[in-house]
Amino acid sequence: MRQKTGAVLFGLGLLCVVAAVGLVGLIVPALKQVPYDVTPPDIVVVAPSATFVSARTLPGGEPAVTVETGTLRSETGIKPDNEAAAELTGSLAGETLIWNVYQATDWVDRDLPVNRAESRIALDRVSGAAAEWDGQCYSDTEAVESGTTGCEAGSITYAGQLYLFPFDTKKQTYQYFDGILRQSLPMLYQGEEEVAGLETYRFEQTVPQRELDLDEETLTQLLGFLAPEATTATMTYRASRTLWVEPMTGGILGYREQQHQELVPDVGSPVVIFNATFQYDDATADAVIEQARDGRAQLFLLGRNLPIGLLVAGVLAAAAGFMLVFVRRATATRPADATGGEPAQTS
């Protein structure tokens, strides 16, 4: 009976050790990929006391473009396109998410739309960075229109990080996409900070002032309303961003973005047409922090606590089984004293 019990314990111990190795080597790497069936929470950022251009149609049907001051609210909604992801081939197959992204920016004080946009993007499931995909697109619409105009494949080339950072984010520089310039720029690691009790890495990006390309129609419209005496103008842009990233999950727990744009006419003074500092609203901050807590808890459980527990239990069970089977067997087969009794003692 002791031998049977020992054999069971020894086998159970080996099974626990194998399970611990399997969790670390197979299950945890699978967890460090963004699931196809997860829909990220809506992200809302607000900018109080922002300066911006409002383009709208007056009651008489005439267009109006004015510079306003007020609170802006920008909401980003994401809908995974799993059917499109399933059709990917080559190196993208099984490794890539396809997200349809919708953005709406509104003037809160007047309950008026400022901008609408939509995009499609492919993201690597592990690194969170944009993947090379010919279906990438972006489309924005004027504030006077409702809905979106549709998104034409190939109209933009995304690169670098946008909505996610990698699992196991490193203390290093990453490339982060600037939507105005439509290119990725360095996002530098600046140190560790605590957000809502969680350790985060703080990253910062600075976009030096540079000129933007303006199409003739937009330039003419802006000059007509904001600098009627000018014949031409340039547009300047600068920005800075600070992100607080939870390193285990790559979740962005804190976000601050400052943008500044000026119309510089050839006659007259520059006109500030956009100046705003955006940050998460309370609901968004709570949602992303809770998501990071859940992700960390799962990774800790399956990546550290459970494997360690299984490994310790397996070693103890295997050792106990070995003792019951092999030590008992060795004792039972040891030669007895020649007299047939206990070994003689001498004084």
Q: pLDDT tens digits for 204-261?
A: 999 999 999 888 888 888 888 899 889 999 999 999 999 999 999 999 999 999 999 9
Instruction: Provide DSSP, 147-204.
Output: S-----TTS----SBSS---TT--SS-EEEEETTTTEEEEEEEEEEEEETTEEEEEEE
pLDDT(302) > 90: no
> 43-52, 147-156, 284-293: which range is least confident on average?
147-156
Torsion sign, CA atoms 56, 57, 58, 59: negative
Structure tokens at 332: 């039972």
pLDDT digits (tens, 9 = 90+) for 8-40: 544 554 555 555 455 455 555 556 778 887 888
Query: Between these two residues, 330 and 211, which has the higher pLDDT value?
Result: 211
Percent of the chain at pLDDT exceeding 90: 54
Distance of CA 240 to the CA centre of its chain: 19
What distance in Å separates the CA atoms of residue 67 and residue 137, rounded to the nearest whole number?
A: 29
pLDDT(293) > 60: yes
Q: What is the pLDDT of residue 323?
A: 63
pLDDT(2) > 90: no
pLDDT digits (tens, 9 = 90+) for 70-126: 999 999 999 999 999 999 999 999 999 999 999 999 999 999 888 899 999 999 999
Of 15, 2, 6, the C-alpha closest to 313 is: 15
Using DSSP, state whether 226 is helix, strand or coil: helix
Of 252, 251, 275, the C-alpha closest to 263 is: 275
